[in-house]
Structure 1
């Protein structure tokens, strides 16, 4: 029998609340989109920031990775626990407003360390999003609709990554007109103005999130009891399921290396190797990320259902394992493709395959984890992905370019080496995780 408190009973009482559930999902997806716009716009501005602040590729990679990731991983477990015991709507309002303000403040940075610290603040605040949003979605949608809901939510990074490139390119291309409209901006460099213009609208979104009603906590098909678990119980659960969680976390982290490395350095590769200008790269690569990333994440549930109909109980993880093989192929051929268009074709394939498993991996965690553990499990998942993926990916590519090849024009080759190797490792780990995931599902049903 469900032990719902009187306070929870006064909240939204049941899952699958019709149009309102989809409204909530729209706001959460929009929040994730805004998060990735604020996170990824730096990638288009690499060459301008490098020139104005006199930085190396390695220093820039620290802005892309460590500055954001260090604070993100530090705050992820805290936000995850808060999401399990607190009001998730309020967590989101606080986090979205905070990261938007600091994203705009990145545009006022006058030196490397000011930009580093403001990026760190953005990362700390963005750590709130996944644990709160994932937990809300799992309470608003039942088992049948959860994969589709998660796939829509997880379009956010690809819509956001694409719009970051497109909007950044448009701001850079419209500097003259913007300065005429607002003379106060005349002293800002194009990259600074881009941060300001993209960061501030997020404050409006934070206000809009106040319209979300906190739903009653409820389990999916993997259990019926709704109670708080102690930290000790969470640790014991994860330890018992370590054969799955360790393989899954590390395998997905290796896929995320590709997810972050490719967008981080693809614009520079197109500019350095193919002579493209930032506006062209922003528009064309931005549209590619938006279309192919969205197509990949939306295709995940279809592939999952196709595998499930053929008797694969581990279909969510199997999607990720198969996607890793596609990633190996498309990232390995990146520097071999002829011309600007050829490079975009390889990037399109890579973008599709690193986005394909994202919704199903999130769904797999929701299904294999009791309700009141989902926030902390999601935050630990993102902690691992951030340390290995977001933290390492940009810097590893930069170090290979600077130290191994010693030539900035070889960044495409660095991308191929790092991304193809990571994807191959992911395939090994994820295929080996399949039987352990099936056991994890059985274990979670007993709690």
Structure 2
């Protein structure tokens, strides 16, 4: 394929579709554990705390740590190759969860899932802007982000069906013979990811980097990236922390939302799965795409900071919806409010990535994505679930106070998200325009090179 063909919008969107497929498998492999908690606990005699370490610490610690290694790889070498290695690693590690004979074997396998998945965002954040120009990136990153909604919905809907079937039939596995149903599920959802790795290896080509006057000839080291962040901290730090606040709310309702509906509204796991599956898979996907379309429209009008503007609007939509859902005594209105909250939360799906891309020179995007991922995962996966549970146990009414705890988490997180993003808007606009070679004070009319200092 010629260089021009590799740069065509049609092929660029094909690459985005491949990345979206990889993202869907990453969320399926990441979330399937939540469907298997009780069978694993029963077979291994684990406590809730031990299982929570599998879901959080084992995955998140390696994800954050290895994101920097993959980020450096992405900035210096082939992003396609980094992605192929990562997808293969997390797929094999998920399957190895199904061969674990003890807690620590399962713990190490979950660490491997985190290591592999650390490759995805740095590679995608870097490769997509080299295929598509700024006015197309909001939609492109939103398509990529649909992997999370589609993968999350698939994990809850189809994954639940696989779990139910495996529990009823107790199928065996070649070479392994009779295994526990939860082991079969890990192998069944893990190995198909190798086909995705093969698809990327065979059909995705490494694009030329779109370098500007802000880029160095060689990829900068981490210390230079940190120096860039310090220089432009007014734009970058509050923006990253603001999206971290979004993640706090997101991880809280993903983990404790099912418990809220089952405890306070008496829904069955199947009914909760339908709410989450359809909410993410349909409403969430439509919202992600809508957010990207709106952002791209504003960028074309000269508002290069549009991803952050739409994100602020998303916070103002989701906050009242979630508060209404968590504090409602009636099941129907609670479900309606919750789905509305999912819509608002999903609007930012691709916009946070577009923001990171606009605030980093090309050769820094891998490590900047790693820094962003570390911030979001520490605040979201590391803090939010425990914070919500702690408020339920100590401030409200114990297990039955989970709705009030979720409401408090939403109110705190969305307040901080709006304040932080609003604080960063003006400096982020200036930085993004410098990096894009646009005039700083007025909407762009002609292209010029403005170095970043």
Q: Using structure 2 for the length normalisation, give the TM-score.
A: 0.87
Q: What does residue 286 of structure 1 align with?
A: 277
Q: Deviations over 1:187-229 (max 9, x none)?
A: 544433332221121111111111211111113xx64756224
Q: Is 1:227 equivalent to 2:185 in the alignment?
A: no
Match of 2:123 in 1: 132
Deviation at 1:25, TM superposition (A): 1.4
**Is the alpha carbon distance of 1:295 and 1:440 closer, same or farther for their aligned partners in structure 2, counting shifts above 3 Å?**
same
Alignment partner of 2:3: what SS? coil
Gaps of 5+ in 1: 1-9
Does residue 202 (structure 1) correspond to residue 193 (structure 2)? The answer is yes
CA distance in 1, matches of 2:264, 2:166: 26
Counterparts of 2:423 and 2:123, CA distance in 1: 30
1:390 Cα deviation from its structure 2 partner: 1.9
Q: In the TM superposition, what is the alpha-carbon distance from 1:334 to its structure 2 partner?
A: 2.7
Equivalenced residues, count: 436
Partners of 1:50 and 1:401 in 2: CA distance: 23
The 5-angstrom pairing of residues 7-406 of structure 1 reads: 12=3, 16-175=7-166, 178-179=169-170, 187-211=178-202, 212-219=204-211, 223=213, 227-231=217-221, 232-305=223-296, 307=298, 312-405=303-396
1:158–1:289: 8 Å Cα contact kept in structure 2?
yes
Deviation per CA, 1:120-172: give whole Å up to 9, x if none: 21111100111111211111111222211111011111111110001221112
Higher-RCO chain (CA-CA 8 Å, sequence separation at least 6): 1
Of 378-387 and 285-294, deviating more is 285-294
Report the CA distance between 1:55 and its aligned residue.
Answer: 4.6
Mapped to 2, the partners of 1:182 and 1:78 lie a distance apart of 35
Which moved further from structure 2: 128-137 or 18-27? 18-27
Distance 1:193 1:127, change over 3 A: same
Q: Deviations over 1:372-428 (max 9, x none)?
A: 111111111111111111222223223333444473343333222223311111111
Provide the C-alpha distance between the structure 2 equivalents of 1:349 and 1:311, rounded to a whole number of angstroms.
30
Quote the residue 2:421 is aligned against: 430
Cα distance in 1 between the residues matched to 2:292 and 2:102: 45
Answer with 75-84 or 299-308: which moved more: 299-308
- The CA distance in 2 between the partners of 1:254 and 1:388, in whole Å, is 7
Q: Hey, what does 2:440 align to over in structure 1?
A: none
1:331 deviation in Å?
A: 2.3
Deviates more, 1:22-31 or 1:339-348: 339-348
Q: Structure 1 328/358 Cα, relative in aligned 2: closer, same or farther at 3 Å?
A: same
Shift of 1:109: 3.4
2:71–2:370 Cα contact (<8 Å) kept = yes
Give the drift of 1:278: 3.1
1:18-54 residue CA offsets vs partner (Å, 9 max, x unmatched)? 4322221111110011001111222333444455545
Task: Provide the C-alpha distance between the structure 2 equivalents of 1:277 and 1:385, rounded to a whole number of angstroms.
Answer: 31
SS of equivalent residue, structure 1 residue 144: helix
Query: Does the Cα contact within 8 Å between 2:173 and 2:179 map onto a contact in 1?
Result: no
Q: What is the RMSD of the two structures over their aligned residues, measured on CA atoms?
A: 2.7
Change (3 A) 1:111 1:348: farther
Distance 1:200 1:105 in 2: 9
Tell me what 2:447 maps to.
Answer: none
Unmatched tracts of structure 2, length 5 or more: 438-450
- Cα separation, partners in 2 of 1:235 and 1:398, compared to 1, 3 Å: same
